[in-house]
Each structure stands twice: as C-alpha cells, then as structure tokens.
Structure 1
Amino acid sequence: MTDTQWDSERLDLASYLARLGIDEPTEPNASALRALHRAHVAAIPFENVEIALGRPISVDLDDIQDKLVHRRRGGYCMEHTPLFAAVLERLGYSVTGLGGRVLMGTNKIRPATHALLRVDLEDGPWLADVGFGGQGLLEPIPIVDGTEVDQGGWVFRLDTDEAGTWMFRTRHPEGGFNLYSFTLEPRYLVDYVVANHYTSTHPRSPFVNRLMAQRTEPGVRHRLMGTEFATVRTKSNNQTRTLPAEELPDTLRKVFGIALDPTDEQALVEQYSA
C-alpha cells in the first residue's frame, strides 16, 4: 500500500473494529459512516489524563492506536481525529481535516485548536467529529446551512455566514449555545502537530490546567472536570458533585472506562489532594 495522507497503511483496522465491537462496513456510505461514528464515540472516551500528569501527547498514528485501541484508553481531539481519519481513509472515504475555534458559549476569537473532519459522500459533505469533549456529536451531520438534528435528545445545528465561517451549536434550555466555529479550509496532520503542541503543553491551555473526561450516550453525558463530576441528562434530573481525590481512579475506570496503572492512579490522587 502506498503512503496516504492519514497514514492509513499503518492502521490496525481489525483491532480498531474489535475495540468498537462492530464488523467492517461493506462500502463507504452515509449509513455506514453514521454507524462507525456512533460506535467510536460510544467505545472510546474523551480524556486528557496524560496531559494532566504532565506528559506530552503524540499525534503519530502508531502512538495513537497503541493508546486508544490496544491499551483501551481515551484521548482528546488531536488523537481521536487522526485515528478516525485513518480509519475512514482505509475504508475508502474521501476525508479532509478541518480546524475549529472552541467557543463554549462565547463569541471570543480563540485559536483554531480543535481537530474535526469533512467527509465527502455522494449526497454532499458531512461533518464528522468524534473528539469534541464538550457536548459533541454522536453521529456526523450534513454540512448544509441551517441543518438541525436531534441525536438521542441532544440537538445540534449548523449555520454559516457570508464569509464562509460555520457555527456549530447545541440547544440549551435557555436557547442556542455556540460550541465552536470552523471553516472548510483543509488542515493536515502537520497542522495538528502544531496545534497539539500548544493544547498539550502551553500553561494557558485548558487541557494543561485540569483533568477532563467525558462519555456521551443517548440521553446522558458523564463529565469530569478536575474533581467535579457531572451527569447531565436530556430529560433533567442532572447531578453534580465534587469527588474526593481518592475517588478519581475508580470514577475514571467505572464511568469512563479509563483504567490507569497503580502509579498513575497514585499520582492523580496526590495531585488533586494537594
């Protein structure tokens, strides 16, 4: 196999599909893309434990799949997105990297440090994003102005302006909530290498300052920010509580499926005990 944009010749596809618990799709189409996206989000959690422990993050495919697939850990967008892009490329999809500016309810101009994907199908382009740690998609959605979808009770909307900037929103009880903006300018793995260096090492990066983990299911999200553990449901009955530091390892393992070795568990407990 020749070299590819997303290094899919190095992908361990069989192990990836086993991690997701699904069979290999027979052909690249919208139905298969939705099923693959949903299975990835369900099986591989969002988390930044390595960054929280002061370790660098690699966006090399071999390192990503060793961590997220073989060691059954999670990661953040700079790991999820190249992995998913390699899978799609290997399966015959036309896939393009994009960059987003995370907003989380604001209109501030922030650096384009979110990695997401455009997937071109016969019926047009789709937004695929398996690595957004704040109220992200369960399935891909068409990149069409005014698109609004309900995914398991989570409502998402896409709008664009005259300048070609797209806004990705979700719906809160009080109204629309801006998650991130993006353009259709292609981004490449080397762009993600640069963005990853900032997001995983810069002291002003939100990923450096606190532990994060998220798992999204239809109707419910589990979210850990530092020691604040929240369960958010589409039909109210939300719960938030502050965890004692010693409960962090068990919570990561039981709720998010993130099993750490004893040394890392102890380091995390000590960090948040302090």
Structure 2
Amino acid sequence: MTPVDPTYTWLGEELDLDAYLARIGFTGERTPTLATLRELVRAHTTTVPFENLEIILGRGVPLDLESLQDKMIRRRRGGYCYENVGLFAAALERFGFEFTAMSGRVTRGATNLRPATHALLRVQAADDDRIWLCDVGFGWGPLEPVELAPDRGEFSAGAWRFRLERQLDAVGGELWTLYQFGKDGWVDRHTFATTPQYRVDFAVGNHYVSTSDRSPFTMRPFVERFLPEVQHTLDGTTWTANYPDGSEEVRELEVAELPKVLAEVFDIDLDEADAAQLVRAEWPAAVKGS
C-alpha cells in the first residue's frame, strides 16, 4: 500500500481528540454522520472565538497542529480562519469524514477585488450524499453546515438568516456567494470556489494576513464571539453586539477596559504580561470597510 503524503492530510492522527472535544463541549457519537457534523459545527462555532491577538502582541501565527492545540485547546484561546479550520479539519479527519478545504474572498459588501484569504471546508458525511459547506472560521457562523445546492437560496440557521447563490467564474467554474442578513439588509460576506486547497496553500495566505501592512489584522485587535442569540465584535476599541433581526448595540471602550471585556464577553483570558502590552497601545476605533 502506497503511504499517504502527509502534505495532503490535516494531521488528524496527531490531534488529542479527547481534549478537543472537551474544549468544544461535544459529547455525541464519534461517527462521520450528518448528525455528528451538525453537532460539531455548532459546538465549534459557538465555543472557539475568532481573534488576531497574537499578531497584535507581536507574535507569529503558526499553523502546525501542535501549535494550534497548545493555543486553542490547552490555553483555551481563539484563532482566525486558518487556525480554526486547521483544528476542525484534523478532527474531521479523525472522525472519518470526506472533505476538502477551499479558499474564499471576504467581501462584506465591498466592490474592490479582495485576496482569497478566507478558509472554508467542503464536507460529505458517510450517511448522506449531499455536499456541505462548513464555515467554522468566520466568527459569525452559520451555526450548522450549509448544503451546497444551486437552488439553496435563503435559509435560516437558528435565528440567523443567510442566502447562498451559485454563479460561474470567468472560466466556467463554480463561484458561490454567501450572503448574511444584518443591519444593512442582505450583504455578501464572502465568495468562494470549490478548488481544493491544502495546508501549504493556507500557509501562503496566513503569511499575508499575519504580516502584510495591507492586512486589517496587523492594524488593530479584531475579535469575534458567535452565540445562537448574539454575535459580539471587538474592532479596535469598538464593541458591537449584533442580533439576528439586524439590530445592534455599539459601545466605545477605553483601552484599559479591553482585557476585562475580552475575558467576560469573548472568553479570552490574557495573562498579565499580554494584557499590559495590549492596553499600552493606542488602538483606533472600528475602521469601516476594511
């Protein structure tokens, strides 16, 4: 039997599965079924926050599985899309799901071309023929897998409203757009193609996102916590609570408040040194359109 090239895998055999499942509070069946996939997506998206704080604190963002486990499981921190997807993909591999990774372009209503720096997963369960989008690294759900069907249209995931549309790209390939309902009505949040991506591809995007002065994640803290009834965003010193009906509550924080809000709202406890470093800087309020 020809050995599998590990660069094509997500290193699931190296995952401490018990620790990961305890971290997200999963207690279901460890089988590659659709019911299990739904439970895993819901548990991960509502437990592990989205955050870029390692970049802001002057450290890199390694994507090797040991680093992901140390940060997101043992230290109970969050991560952005590449980190969340890397950890979740390792778990899917251990469960026996068939899946490929994909890259997307985060638009949030923008008209200018954005780089493909968002990580997603295309998953199939053992007991279901359909193909499912799992978007565990966006910081705003969906709470459950979304069927990749051309006629999917508008749907709800819990109380949150989405719309999925398929078009063709410049060479006739599939190009999907996921829309989300919010304070400005329907807004396209990202587009993605179904071309398979691998860990090495995400390493390239991760380098840009974590180091480029054109990346919003190198400019200020950006943290998200998604729950069934509310989504919290910390953008610089602007804290916004977003609700499924499109309403929001906005509060401008003092820099000294950041560690307390991170702990109490976003479930991120910084140690004393990191908290002190974070409050020494002068972070801007939310930067619109970035």
Fold similarity call, TM over 0.5: yes
Cα pair distance change 1:273/1:142, threshold 3 Å: closer
Q: Secondary structure at the match of 1:43?
A: coil
Q: Which stretch has the larger CA shift, 122-131 or 97-106?
A: 122-131
Matched residue type, 1:183? A
1:82-120 CA-to-partner distances (Å, cap 9, x unmatched) read 110010010010010100001011232211100110002
Q: Write the distance in 2 (CA, Å) between the matches of 1:98 and 1:114.
A: 8
Q: Write the distance in 1 (CA, Å) between the matches of 2:223 and 2:82.
A: 15
CA deviation after TM superposition for structure 1 residue 273, in Å: 6.8
Cα pair distance change 1:173/1:231, threshold 3 Å: closer
1:138 to 123, 127, 143: 143
Q: How does 1:20-39 map to 2 (within 5 A)?
A: 20-39=24-43
**Could you tell me whether the CA contact under 8 Å between 1:219 and 1:235 is conserved in 2?**
no
Q: How does 1:1-274 map to 2 (within 5 A)?
A: 3=6, 5-121=9-125, 122-133=128-139, 135-147=140-152, 148-163=154-169, 164-172=174-182, 174-235=184-245, 238-272=248-282
Cα RMSD, aligned residues only: 1.7
Q: Which stretch has the larger CA shift, 77-86 or 48-57?
A: 48-57
1:160-216 CA-to-partner distances (Å, cap 9, x unmatched) read 113311111112355321000000000000000000000001011011111011111
Q: Write the distance in 2 (CA, Å) between the matches of 1:176 and 1:238.
A: 15
Cα pair distance change 1:268/1:256, threshold 3 Å: same
Q: Which stretch has the larger CA shift, 190-199 or 117-126?
A: 117-126
Q: Write the distance in 1 (CA, Å) between the matches of 2:34 and 2:48.
A: 21
So what's the TM-score if we normalise by structure 1? 0.95
1:4-47 CA-to-partner distances (Å, cap 9, x unmatched) read 60011100000001111222524211111011110011111111
Q: Secondary structure at the match of 1:124?
A: coil
1:220-248 CA-to-partner distances (Å, cap 9, x unmatched) read 11110000001112246621011001100
**Could you tell me whether the CA contact under 8 Å between 2:46 and 2:228 is conserved in 1?**
no
Q: Secondary structure at the match of 1:150?
A: strand
CA deviation after TM superposition for structure 1 residue 70, in Å: 0.8
CA deviation after TM superposition for structure 1 residue 139, in Å: 1.2
Structure 1 residues not aligned, in runs of 5+: none
Q: How many residue pairs align between the two structures?
A: 273
